[in-house]
Structure 1
Amino acid sequence: MSAGAGSDGNDAVRRRFTVGLTGGIGSGKSVVARLFAERGVDIVDTDQIARSLTGPHGAAMPAVLAAFGADFADAHGALDRVKMRALAFSRPEARRTLEGILHPMIRDAVFAESLLGTGPYVIFDIPLLVESGTWRERVGRVLVVDCPEAVQVARVMARNALPEQQVHAIMAAQAPRQARLAAAHDVIDNGGELGELAPQVDRLHAIYLAMAEEAVRNN
């Protein structure tokens, strides 16, 4: 990320009230993001941006292939995610190399997309917010969707048809539950019924609207 793009992007984003939404795999973060979107909030999905960057002939693919080799592209020119996932889990330095390529590009794209929104505030949907070490300073609030780890495992096994051992390996590569909670300004409990989410979202939405209005007055 160039210095100019990063500085301009940060300054522009600071003029809007921002929330960083995160949670472990299977926590229900995507459902919570959808509920906020239904209330008119702008959602910027960093996973979606990453998929675009590593899709067929995506902007990140030349650097990825230069670092890992041409055989990490599939027949369509997209990142071979299965092969990369296996490498990243077995070799942490490979994961760091991939993140070093993608994270600056994702940040630039996030800033650009956030400027296009018309909602009262913007939520950045960031699965690895805690792990990145930089996003906490880039958002006004950190919102964590939380549930017991046993619930995470059961949900992911049912949703993705993955063996329990693989689900635990994915969770081990993410920040521990307590680290996410320690980073949170706000927490949504998603360990129960789906219907219990909307009241929690409504409560936080009212708080965030007031904070967004204050941010506008102070700028």
Structure 2
Amino acid sequence: MDRIALTAEHPSYVIALTGGIASGKSAVAHCFEAHGIAVYDADIAARAVVAPGSGGLRAIVEAFGAEALDAEGQLDRASMRRRIFADDHARLTLEAIIHPRVRQWLQDHARTDRGPYCLLAIPLLTENIEHYRWVNRILLVDAPDSTRLDRLIHRDQIDTTLAQRMLDRQASRERRMALADDIIDNSGDRAALEAAVASLHASYLALARHA
């Protein structure tokens, strides 16, 4: 994939951190943060762009009606999750509202970062890769599908059917691996994960110095 760098006003090297759902992206992000590296998370961005009073939330209400809101006037995430995983049209409509706003939020934060490099945690990077050609490198957190399924069931307290449907909606493990510049195997213990991150951190510092 050809990459288009950010403008010269942005000195930081940008790493896109991705992986399938329940692969352990948060654990990897925390390891990089322990090295003093900023991580800008698409999940945080997705909440920010649909906060009460935002244009994103207004657009969702226009598309889905007032039932998209909870009693406090915020996005009813549990209800919307059930709706979009049962209805492809609803999913695409919601993505068309949220994803462009999330991409802008991430790019704005990357532009103002002043570390040697920064990470953008983007779960759906593979599915939207054409919109992220400006990142310098892609880091994939990988784990077997069976491991991710088990983690997802326990993490979200959902049944196997819904968990499997959520995994199936995402790009295949093979497609993610084909796009990655670097891969962390997160099927081991915490010590192995920290060692892998430390090695990559040293590599990224060197790459950033010569970027």
Match status 1:108 vs 2:92:
no
Q: CA deviation at 1:135?
A: 4.2
- Return the letter of the residue paired with 1:166: L
Residue 130 of structure 1 contacts residue 136 of structure 1 at CA under 8 Å; is this kept in 2?
no
How do 1:91-106 residues align onto structure 2 when only pairs under 5 Å count? 91-106=87-102
Q: Distance in 1 between matches of 2:94 and 2:199?
A: 38
Change (3 A) 1:141 1:18: same
- Number of residue-to-residue matches in the alignment: 208
Change (3 A) 1:135 1:14: farther
Aligned to 1:172: 168
Residue 18 of structure 2 contacts residue 122 of structure 2 at CA under 8 Å; is this kept in 1?
yes
Aligned to 1:39: 35
Q: Deviations over 1:157-191 (max 9, x none)?
A: 22222211111011011111111111111000001
Decide which structure has greater helix share. Answer: 1
**Secondary structure of the equivalent of 2:148?**
helix
Q: Distance in 2 between matches of 1:134 and 1:33?
A: 23
**Secondary structure of the equivalent of 1:18?**
strand
TM-score (norm 1): 0.88
Aligned to 2:54: 58
Aligned to 1:117: 113
Aligned to 2:157: 161
Residue 143 of structure 2 contacts residue 185 of structure 2 at CA under 8 Å; is this kept in 1?
yes
Residue 12 of structure 2 contacts residue 114 of structure 2 at CA under 8 Å; is this kept in 1?
no
Of residues 79, 86, 108 in structure 1, which corresponds to 2:82?
86
- Return the letter of the residue paired with 1:152: R
Q: Deviations over 1:64-99 (max 9, x none)?
A: 111111211112221111221122112212211111
Of residues 141, 154, 157 in structure 2, which corresponds to 1:145?
141
Q: Distance in 1 between matches of 2:189 and 2:23?
A: 12
Q: Distance in 1 between matches of 2:177 and 2:10?
A: 24
Of residues 179, 187, 190 in structure 2, which corresponds to 1:191?
187
Q: CA deviation at 1:136?
A: 4.3
RMSD between aligned residues: 1.9
Unaligned runs of 5+ in 1: 1-8
Q: CA deviation at 1:138?
A: 2.2
Q: Distance in 2 between matches of 1:12 and 1:29?
A: 29
Q: CA deviation at 1:59?
A: 3.5
Residue 15 of structure 2 contacts residue 136 of structure 2 at CA under 8 Å; is this kept in 1?
yes
* Percent sequence identity over aligned pairs: 38
Q: CA deviation at 1:102?
A: 1.3
- Return the letter of the residue paired with 1:185: D
Change (3 A) 1:209 1:35: same
Q: Distance in 1 between matches of 2:52 and 2:70?
A: 8
Change (3 A) 1:35 1:211: same
- Return the letter of the residue paired with 1:63: A
- Return the letter of the residue paired with 1:200: A
TM-score (norm 2): 0.91
Residue 13 of structure 1 contacts residue 111 of structure 1 at CA under 8 Å; is this kept in 2?
no
